[in-house]
Amino acid sequence: ERKSTIHVALFPTSGMGHLTPFLRLATSLVASDVRVTFIAAHPTVSLAESRALSSFFASFPQVIPMQLCLLPIDESSSSTDDPFYRHYEVICRSCRLLPPLLSSISPPLSALITDMSLISAVLPVSRAVGLPNYVFFTSSAKMLTLFMSFHKISVGKAMPGSEDNEDVIKIPNLEPIPVSWFPPPLLEEEDNFLKSSLIQNGKSMSDADGILINTFHGFEQDTLRALNDVNITSGLPPAIAIGPLPPANFEEPHSHPLAWLGDQPIGSVVYVSFGSRTAMSRDQIRELGDGLVRSGVRFVWIVKSKKVDEEDTEGLEDVIGQNLMMATSGAVNGLVVKCWLNQSEVLGHPAIGGFLSHCGWNSVMEAVWHGVPMLAWPQHGDQMINASLVKRAGIGIWEESWGRGEKDVVKGEEIADRLEEITRDESLKARAARMKEAARTALGADGDSGRGLKALLAKLSQ
C-alpha cells in the first residue's frame, strides 16, 4: 500500500487546555500515516506543557518538532497580568516569525492546522506562503456558534432579523445563548486585548479552509447540523467533528492516587479538579474542602492556588488550612493532592463515580469518554456554555447560581448536598454510560468523527 504523502503542521496556543487536544490530534494523524510537524512556542508558560511536549516527542520520533522562539515578553507593556494571556499576546506578536519556518519545512506542507485563538494572526502568513489553513477549535460546537457570530452582534441588541432581548443573544436558526454564559471579556464595555482577539479570530474563522472540532454528533447533533447547513451559514467553511480525541499513550501514568483508588469500592470516588489554569480563592478552597468532608463522599481533590504550576509552591496545609488537613490526612475518605496527575487515567479508574469539574472542554470530553457523571461548576471563559451542554445531555448537574454575584463564595453545606446528589442519581450514571458508548462509536471507522477525519485526509491528499 502506498504511504500517505500528506504532511500537516500543527500549531497550538499556550496552556494544557490547548496543547493536550493538539497532541491527541497529532497522535490520531500519525496513526493515519500522516506526516506531522508540530510547532510549539518556546518557552512554554507552564512546566506541564514542556513535560508533555518532551514525552510526546520521545514517543513519536517520526513527528518533526519545530520551535517558534517567542519575542521577548515585555511585562510592562502587556495589557493583562494573567500569565497565560500574557504569553498568548506574545505568541500572537511572534507569528510574524513564522514565514521562514514554514518555508523551511520539508517535504512541503499540505496544510497548516492552527489553534482557534491564533487564526487571525496566522491566516495572513499561511495565505502569503500559499498554504491551506484549517482551524482546530478546542471547545464545543456551541461555543463555535457564539465565536463566529459575536462580531455581528452587540450585547444588549440581538442580531439583525431576530427578536430583541436583553438577556439572551439570538443567533438566527440556532439556540439562543444567555448573555450570562458569555466569556467575561466579551461583556466588558472597554476594548481589551482578549475581547478584540476573540472578535478578530471569530471573523477570521470564515476565511479558513475548514474547522475541526473536538466534539461528536451524539453530543452536539443540532449545533453541528446547523453549522453545516448551507442555508443557515452560507459562506462558512465546513465544521468537521473529529472528537472526542482519545487520550494517548504518551500521557504518562502517575501512580500515586491510583494506588489509593485501587483500594476504594467501584464507582465510589468523586474526582475534583478545576483545570490547569484556574486558581480558586482561599475562602472558596476552604468551603469546598468543608463540603467534601461533610458530604461523606470519597474524593480525590487536585488543589491549585496559583494559575501557573511553577508559581504554585505553597504547601498543601497553607492552602487548605490545618483543620481540613487534619480531616483529610487520615485518607479515610479522601486524597488531597497538589500536583499534576494524568486526569484521563484517573477518570478511567473503576473507583471513580463522579467528577466535580470547571467544565474546561477537554475535561468534559474526557468525562464523556470514560462515562463519568459530572457536577458542573464553571468559572469563566467557555465553561458556562460547556456546562449547559453537560446539563442538556443529562450527564451532569449544574447549579447555575454558583459563583454569581452575592453568592460568590459557595458554602460547604450546599456543595455537600450536590456531591451527594451526583453520587446517588442512577439516571445520571446510566446516561453517562450511554454517552460513553456513543463517543466510542463516533470514533470508529463508520462513526461520524471517524468519517470526518477520513474526509479531511481525502481532501488534503488531493
Distance CA 344, CA 362 (A): 10
Torsions phi, psi for 383 (to 5 deg): -65, -30
Known catalytic residue: 18? Answer: yes
Q: What is the dihedral of CA 96, 100, 101, 106, to 10 degrees?
A: 150
- The amino acid at 341: L
Catalytic residue among 7, 87, 115, 448: 115
Rounded to the nearest whole angstrom, what is the least distance from the CB of residue 307 to ligand BUP in the complex?
Answer: 10
Nearer to ligand BUP, 170 or 277 (CB): 277
Rounded to the nearest whole angstrom, what is the least distance from the CB of residue 368 to ligand BUP in the complex?
Answer: 12
Distance CA 189, CA 424 (A): 43
Catalytic residue among 7, 18, 217, 370: 18
Neighbours of 69 (CB within 10 A): 10
Nearer to ligand BUP, 35 or 358 (CB): 358
Q: What is the dihedral of CA 381, 386, 387, 392, to 10 degrees?
A: 150
Nearer to ligand BUP, 17 or 291 (CB): 17
Distance CA 51, CA 198 (A): 28
Rounded to the nearest whole angstrom, what is the least distance from the CB of residue 379 to ligand BUP in the complex?
Answer: 8
Judge whether 332 and 292 are in contact, CB under 8 Å.
Answer: no
Nearer to ligand BUP, 16 or 125 (CB): 16
Nearer to ligand BUP, 50 or 342 (CB): 342
Neighbours of 445 (CB within 10 A): 8
Residue 341's contacts (CB-CB under 8 Å, 6 or more residues apart) are: 254, 256, 257, 302
Known catalytic residue: 115? Answer: yes
Alpha carbon of 33 to those of 8, 266, 457: distances in Å?
Answer: 11, 38, 10
Strands 64-69 and 35-42: parallel
Rounded to the nearest whole angstrom, what is the least distance from the CB of residue 150 to ligand BUP in the complex?
Answer: 18
Neighbours of 323 (CB within 10 A): 12
Rounded to the nearest whole angstrom, what is the least distance from the CB of residue 365 to ligand BUP in the complex?
Answer: 8
Alpha helices in 105-174 (DSSP H): 119-128, 141-149
Nearer to ligand BUP, 220 or 366 (CB): 366
Rounded to the nearest whole angstrom, what is the least distance from the CB of residue 396 to ligand BUP in the complex?
Answer: 14
- The amino acid at 258: L
230-234's contacts with Cβ under 8 Å and 24+ in sequence apart are 232/172, 232/173, 232/174, 233/148
Q: What are the residues binding ligand BUP (CB under 6 A)? A: 15-18, 20, 273, 275-278, 302, 340-344, 360-363, 366, 381
Rounded to the nearest whole angstrom, what is the least distance from the CB of residue 45 to ligand BUP in the complex?
Answer: 12
Strands (E), 274-333: 298-302
So which residues are the catalytic ones? 18, 115
